[in-house]
A and B are shown apart, each in its own frame.
Chain A
């Protein structure tokens, strides 16, 4: 589904590349975990795969398209429609309601969000057990609820692949476990997931684990 070939990324001033000639193949419907110590390059790799950062060299093929050489518009389209990203922090817009936050990917133009999309957002919120909190502000939710809203926002456009960067990193174990259960449910429904995590228990619950060290797969 997603194939990275010879990816190299070096940050200015760094003595070695964050990601060094890395190859990775993500299969459709799999739950892949990327683990490694801090600074091993796992988050950089995830951001490159999610089209948030351009690598210095190499290519990433998604449905036959090399997203590294794709136009700005095409990359925006990918991020908006095919890829979904969840971060360690939820980064919800505090002045929008839960429903508005979930609909954020649709709020990028003058066109008003129509009923089918509203219904879709409400369905996802129901699935996240947040149906009754659609009018709440993010500040009124618990950490786990906020992360579930962030996942709902990521998935509202029907993405086929979810990139999760330490999605349980800022949550306690119980809340983190509930988020992991949710991710497994989504994966069972066919969503491809690539997750970066420090938690070996959560990593081991996925289909495949990739270990990174010094920018390479070890």
Chain B
């Protein structure tokens, strides 16, 4: 099969060392870009997951109007004048409708009350087990975590010690019996001092079905500022107070953006360098092959045909570099993820569509880089080439 590509293929084969060098540089560029992109995405995702496991970064509480009262030198403290309770179903529905819903990873509703257990006062926090365990991924337990939907309870470390509780024990709370499935290992937070109990139970005990005291929210912040999520939530829940735990949010966003910007910058430098090398190499090739161009023009090649000869060489090199760059990038990604101990969580699987896209993008990039040298080649007049003959 002979056509215009026969010339490009012949030259590529004849100058295999130059071709190999160019392809190697392009391969390195593509492999680095691919690996950096994949690794930064895996690391960012992983960072997000880890950061989420540090807890919530948004708090939704009922809007309250309080009054500080003192009389005759005696302080009566803050008195709640009006409270706007949160209805769980309505709140969840409102949150589902916000534009940045995809950035909200976990919503953990809670209801707080007090009860007496074996004659001692204890703080009870009603939770949805599935949501709570997703939010508090860092919890460790002695015994077992309650199953989602079960009526079991969980005790904080300090509360368990004060109440003399042990996993497996059955407790009587408000006339109902509950099994203590586990005791949390110390967390250093308020969680140590309370008992966690299914949310519907607390709602029943307080006679406020469907109500909650507050909600903790974990939002993913790599794609948008936390302020935007807070503003949207506030607009959706006008009767509640929505507050960002700014420090946590900002540090999450900074870490994720830093990793991604670094990867983007390095990739850009590598790509520009590879393209510059291809342009220089093609320009020198045009100068070196001036006589060939003259002969091609003398036997009837149009400017477009001469342009195609040079661009097709670059397309071939780009496509080959795209394929090898993908393979090398995959290997590099797997190696780095293994070194970062992320290999088990992130699996850089082979994707035919990704391979095709990279081959196409690499060929196009190389072709575009060669456009200027090829255009210079197409401008050569047979007469000019003949002068050099």
**Residue ranges of A at the interface with B (Cβ–Cβ < 8 Å):** 47, 50, 52-54, 72-73, 76-81, 85, 87, 89, 91, 93-96, 100, 103-113, 153-154, 157
A87 touches B389 (CB 8 A): yes
Roughly how many angstroms separate A89 CA and B291 CA in the complex, as a whole number?
Answer: 11
Residue of B nearest to A121 (CB): B2
Known: A47-B383, A76-B301. A111 touches B389 (CB 8 A): no
30 example contacts (A-B, Cβ-Cβ < 8 A) are as follows A47-B383, A47-B386, A52-B383, A52-B386, A53-B386, A54-B383, A73-B302, A76-B300, A76-B301, A78-B300, A79-B299, A79-B300, A79-B382, A80-B300, A87-B386, A91-B292, A91-B295, A93-B7, A93-B292, A95-B10, A100-B10, A103-B2, A104-B7, A104-B299, A108-B4, A108-B302, A109-B4, A111-B3, A112-B1, A154-B299
Chain A residues whose CB sits within 8 angstroms of the CB of B389 once the complex forms: 87, 89, 91
Residue of B nearest to A117 (CB): B2
A110 touches B300 (CB 8 A): no
A96 touches B295 (CB 8 A): no
CB distance from A124 to the nearest CB of B (A): 14
Which of B13, B295, B383, B386 contacts A93 (CB under 8 A)? Answer: B295
Q: Counting CB contacts under 8 A, is B211 at the interface?
A: no
Q: Counting CB contacts under 8 A, is B14 at the interface?
A: yes
Which of B298, B301, B302 contacts A85 (CB under 8 A)? Answer: B298
Q: Counting CB contacts under 8 A, is B361 at the interface?
A: no
Q: Counting CB contacts under 8 A, is B335 at the interface?
A: no
A52 touches B295 (CB 8 A): no
CB distance from A56 to the nearest CB of B (A): 13
CB distance from B229 to the nearest CB of A (A): 53
Roughly how many angstroms separate A157 CA and B291 CA in the complex, as a whole number?
Answer: 21
CB distance from A162 to the nearest CB of B (A): 12
**Residue ranges of B at the interface with A (Cβ–Cβ < 8 Å):** 1-7, 10-11, 13-15, 291-292, 294-303, 305, 382-383, 386, 389
Roughly how many angstroms separate A91 CA and B294 CA in the complex, as a whole number?
Answer: 9
Roughly how many angstroms separate A76 CA and B11 CA in the complex, as a whole number?
Answer: 24
Roughly how many angstroms separate A35 CA and B4 CA in the complex, as a whole number?
Answer: 38
Known: A54-B383, A100-B6. 7 other contacts (CB 8 A): A72-B302, A93-B10, A93-B292, A95-B13, A110-B4, A110-B5, A113-B3
Roughly how many angstroms separate A181 CA and B5 CA in the complex, as a whole number?
Answer: 36
Roughly how many angstroms separate A93 CA and B382 CA in the complex, as a whole number?
Answer: 16
B296 touches A110 (CB 8 A): no
A112 touches B383 (CB 8 A): no
Chain A residues whose CB sits within 8 angstroms of the CB of B4 once the complex forms: 107-110
CB distance from A10 to the nearest CB of B (A): 14
A157 touches B300 (CB 8 A): yes
Roughly how many angstroms separate A153 CA and B301 CA in the complex, as a whole number?
Answer: 13
Roughly how many angstroms separate A111 CA and B4 CA in the complex, as a whole number?
Answer: 8
Chain A residues whose CB sits within 8 angstroms of the CB of B298 once the complex forms: 50, 52, 79, 85
By CB atoms of chain A within 10 A, which of B2, B7, B303 has the most? B2
Please give me the 5 A-B residue pairs with the lowest Cβ-Cβ distance, nearest first. Answer: A80-B300, A95-B14, A108-B305, A95-B10, A53-B383
Residue of B nearest to A87 (CB): B389
Chain B residues whose CB sits within 8 angstroms of the CB of A107 once the complex forms: 2-4, 6-7
Chain B residues whose CB sits within 8 angstroms of the CB of A77 once the complex forms: 300
